[in-house]
Structure formats: C-alpha cells, structure tokens
Structure 1
C-alpha cells in the first residue's frame, strides 16, 4: 500500500442520485469523491452489516462535508502465463497502480432531527413504532409489539429535509437541547485496511478542518434573512461553538473514546438498521468569531 491521502468534498448538489442503485451505476455528474465515499459505505454498511442499499444514501448527504481516504494499490490486470511443459514464462504478469478509496466519514451541519428516544428503532432514518399484534398476544393479556413506521411531524420533516428551522431538543447529559452541534457519522474503513489507524487519520484531518473553519456551517443573515432564521436579534442567530455529536455503534465506542468523545448517558440506547447505537459528544476548542452576516 502506498502513502494514503485524503480528499475533502464540501456540501454539493447531488440531484439525480438514485439510492436504489450502487455507486458505480450513478449518473456521470455525481462528484467522483462522493461516489468513492459511497463505494466504501456500501462495502461496509451494506455488504458487511446488511443495511439495505436504498437506506444508505440520505437527505443529509448533499448538505454534509465528506472526507475520503485513498491508498495507492498495485493490482494485477493480467496474470502470468507459463508453458505447462517447460515452466518458461510465456507472458509476464501485468499490473497497474490504482488510487483506491479505503475509508470515509462525514460531518452533518445543524440543525438535526430530535435526539432518538431511548429504545427506539429506526429503519431508513424512519422511526418505527410498536403496533400490537392480536395474533401474538401474550398469556397475561399483553401483546408482542411489531414495528410500524411513524408519520413525522411537519417540523421533523423540515428539519430532516433542510437546514431550517432551528428548533430546541430535549436536554441530555452533554447537550442542553439548544446549542447547535455538528454530527460526525458514516465512519467506515474497508476491511482489508483495518488495523492501520485509517479512521484516526481521517478524524485528525476532519478535526483540523473544523478547527480551521469554525464558521463554515453558521447561517448567513445576508443570504437567509432574519425572518427565515426565525430569530429576533443578531445575537440569537444559531452559531457553532465546537460541539460535535456522533451516533456510535456500541461495538466501536472505544474508538470514539480514544478521540475524546464521551458517551451521553442521557441519550440512552437505540437501534439503527437493527444495530444498537449510543450518543457521544466532544467539544473542540475553537476561536470565537463574529456572527456571519
């Protein structure tokens, strides 16, 4: 493996991306870096963990920043051929070096849908509700629940589909329910390259970028206007102050802890695509700046 390098993709329009098709069957105008990110995510989350392909791409992808790590890998294009009688080489092995995507992560700007309720189950980012099943009634007169999709409220739909409006959430251990935060997620490394601190290298690059661009995700009053922001004064404009959240799979909590994240006990535990998750928070030290206008 050659020296890895990292590419960064800022939020970009992904019109025409078909979540029902794999990365290598998307329209030609989709940015190559995003296609490479999806190649990694499909290998890990879809191929290894069984997430349905059409649930892997979501509405947050086009408003997020993505990081993709590449490695120069020597790949055989034509195998060596030998004379079966003499063992003499008839045709030497041919190979080429390719920059292969081996890891990815993304940062989703605020706002976000409400924190998941403890014990909740999500499928394709949709919260499932328990529906009593009369045919599976328990002996005590209770019923064994069966998941059903819950209809989102209009506020939740808006918060999932766009960057507005900015709403409050329930307080947790490390989040007061009001402060804007960005969300680290979709952290994935190809199985053959695990054990080489690939995720840690991507996190350091992502962390440095966030520290160097603390106002990147802050809304612009000039572009949006006070009415659309739904605030009464400039000092009420949502502003990122270094708080980062991640929805971590329980099995990789220790990795995030090494990066400085702490489990938010107040968020409890929930399930995404059948995998148990917990909330974790980290605060970066960033320079205070004037609101973006």
Structure 2
C-alpha cells in the first residue's frame, strides 16, 4: 500500500442521487469524492452489516463535510499462465497500481434532532414504539457505528427557506444552522449549545489495523480547529428574520463541541481520540445494538463573528 492521502468535500448539492442504486450507477455529475465515500460505506454498512442500500444515503449527506482516504494499491491485472504439461510460463503475471478509496467519515453541522431517549430503539432512523419493535432488529440503524466502521447519523435537516442573496450551495449550508430548539441537558451538553457530529466512519476490511480511521479524524479535527466559523450562519446573508433571533448575540455559533454516537463495544477507540462517554445521555439501541453518546471539545480560537 502506498502512502494514503485524504480528500475533503465541503457541503454540496447532491441532486439526482438515487438511494436505491449503488455508487457506480449514479449520475455522472455527482462529486467523485462523495461517490468514493459511498463506495466505502456500501462495502462496510451494506455489504458487511446488512444495512439496506436505500437507507445508507440520508438528507445529512448534502449538508455535511466528507473526508475520503485513498491508497495506491498494486493489483493483479492478469494472472500468470503456465503450460499445464511442462509448467513453462506462457504469460507472466501483469500488475498495475490503482488508487482506491479505503475509508471515509463525515462531519454533520448543527442543528441535530433531540438526543435519543434512554432505552429507546431505532429502526430505519425511526424511533420505535414498544409495540412496534419487540427485539430491536429490522432495517437500518440510525447509527452504523462499529469496530470497523465507527459512525453516526443525524436526522433530516429542517426545511430550507430560499434567499436570493445566496448561491444554492451556500443556502443549504447556511440554512442548516437554524436551531431545532432546546434539547435535554446531559453531562457534556447543556441542551442549547450547537455541536457538530462525527459520523459514517468506515474503513474497508483489507485496510483495517493501519490506523486509517485515526488519520481521517486527525485531518477532520485540524480542519475544524482551523475553520471554526464555517458552519455558523451569517446575519448578512440570511437576515435576522430568517435566523429567528432578536439579537446578534442569539445567533448560534459553534464553540468546539463535537458529538458521536458509539456502539458500547468501541467506546475505547473513541476515547483514544479524545471523546468521553456522556453518562447523562444513557443508552439506547440501534438495530438491536447498544449505543452511547460521547463528546469532545476542541480548542478553537473564536474570531470575529460573521455578521
């Protein structure tokens, strides 16, 4: 394996993406970095973990930042051929170096749906009533996290309001910062502070054990620390009425808080990355797997607010 390199995709419109089709059958205009990310997610979440293909893509993908890590791999283009009677080589093995995606993760900006209720069960991103889901098994989990694929997913973004002063891409990014409203306070979250969510972390089986996921998180963390105001809404572009606030001081701003939803069995991996279990969030179940919430606060420098 050659030295891995990482590509980042900022929030972008993904119009035309068909969730019922795999990445290699999507429209040609879609960003290659995103399609490569979906190739990894399909291999891990759909192929290994059994998530239905049409549940893997969600409404958060267009408003998120995605990191995809690649490696140059020497692969066999044609196998060696020998004479069956003499063993003489008729055609030597031919190899070629190809660049392939081997891992991905995303950062979902605020806002997020309310924290999962303790003891809750989710199937297909939907909170189940007790009578609807006796064993917690079924469709796609809200969070596809695991040893090989540490990830989480937020719910759908709130409806967008159009603004003539923004490009379509900027509108999606800025409108995503509008708040859902207060949440329940937990150990590390006061229920009000905006946070971003680390999720959809996956590494293909052949490249596990090489700290690939850790490399991606370090890249994402540095980017977040260097661009702390990226997801903050702009009163200049949106206006106070669209932000639904009465004063500039009320405009939501990200102050370094990062959340992830983790399977209990991989908590130690996230702890190595600096996350801590939020006991106040309790435990919930996604596709029958127990999950806990974890938070980390990055040390960022707050610049002049974008007004």
Q: Same fold (TM over 0.5)?
A: yes
Q: Could you tell me whether the CA contact under 8 Å between 1:63 and 1:109 is conserved in 2?
A: yes
Q: CA deviation at 1:3?
A: 0.7
3-state DSSP class of the match of 1:131? coil
Correspondence 1:201 to 2:215: yes
Q: CA deviation at 1:287?
A: 0.3
Q: CA deviation at 1:191?
A: 1.1
**What is the alpha-carbon root mean square deviation over aligned residues?**
2.2
Q: Which residue of 1 aligns with 2:87?
A: 87
Distance (whole Å) between structure 2 residues aligned to residue 188 and residue 22 of structure 1 = 17
Correspondence 1:163 to 2:176: yes
Correspondence 1:248 to 2:262: yes
**Unpaired runs of at least 5, structure 2:** 140-154, 161-174
* Distance of aligned partners of 1:38 and 1:87 in 2 relative to their CA distance in 1, 3 Å threshold: same
Q: What are the residue-to-residue correspondences of 1:53-64 with 2, within 5 Å? A: 53-64=53-64
Q: Among residues 265, 270, 281, which one is paired with 2:279 in the alignment? A: 265
Q: Among residues 160, 172, 183, which one is paired with 2:186 in the alignment? A: 172
**Unpaired runs of at least 5, structure 1:** 134-143, 150-155
Q: CA deviation at 1:87?
A: 1.6
Q: How many residues align?
A: 277
Q: What are the residue-to-residue correspondences of 1:110-259 with 2, within 5 Å? A: 110-131=110-131, 159=158, 163=176, 165-166=178-179, 167-259=181-273
Q: CA deviation at 1:224?
A: 1.1
Correspondence 1:2 to 2:15: no
Q: After TM superposition, which residue ranges in structure 1, 4 or more long, deviate above 6 angstroms? A: 144-149
Distance (whole Å) between structure 2 residues aligned to residue 272 and residue 122 of structure 1 = 5
Q: CA deviation at 1:165?
A: 3.6
* Distance of aligned partners of 1:68 and 1:145 in 2 relative to their CA distance in 1, 3 Å threshold: closer
Higher strand share: 1
Q: Could you tell me whether the CA contact under 8 Å between 2:138 and 2:287 is conserved in 1?
A: no
Q: Which residue of 2 aligns with 1:22?
A: 22
* Distance of aligned partners of 1:2 and 1:55 in 2 relative to their CA distance in 1, 3 Å threshold: same
3-state DSSP class of the match of 2:303? coil
Rg: which structure is higher? 1
Q: CA deviation at 1:119?
A: 1.4
Distance (whole Å) between structure 2 residues aligned to residue 240 and residue 277 of structure 1 = 25
Distance (whole Å) between structure 2 residues aligned to residue 262 and residue 64 of structure 1 = 23
- What TM-score, normalized by structure 1, do the two folds share? 0.89
Q: Could you tell me whether the CA contact under 8 Å between 2:65 and 2:108 is conserved in 1?
A: yes
Q: CA deviation at 1:123?
A: 2.1
3-state DSSP class of the match of 2:293? strand
- What TM-score, normalized by structure 2, do the two folds share? 0.85
Distance (whole Å) between structure 1 residues aligned to residue 159 and residue 200 of structure 2 = 17
3-state DSSP class of the match of 2:130? strand
Q: CA deviation at 1:160?
A: 8.0
3-state DSSP class of the match of 1:159? coil
* Distance of aligned partners of 1:242 and 1:37 in 2 relative to their CA distance in 1, 3 Å threshold: same
Q: CA deviation at 1:146?
A: 8.8
Distance (whole Å) between structure 1 residues aligned to residue 159 and residue 265 of structure 2 = 26
Q: CA deviation at 1:59?
A: 0.4
* Distance of aligned partners of 1:238 and 1:247 in 2 relative to their CA distance in 1, 3 Å threshold: same
Correspondence 1:102 to 2:115: no
Q: CA deviation at 1:148?
A: 11
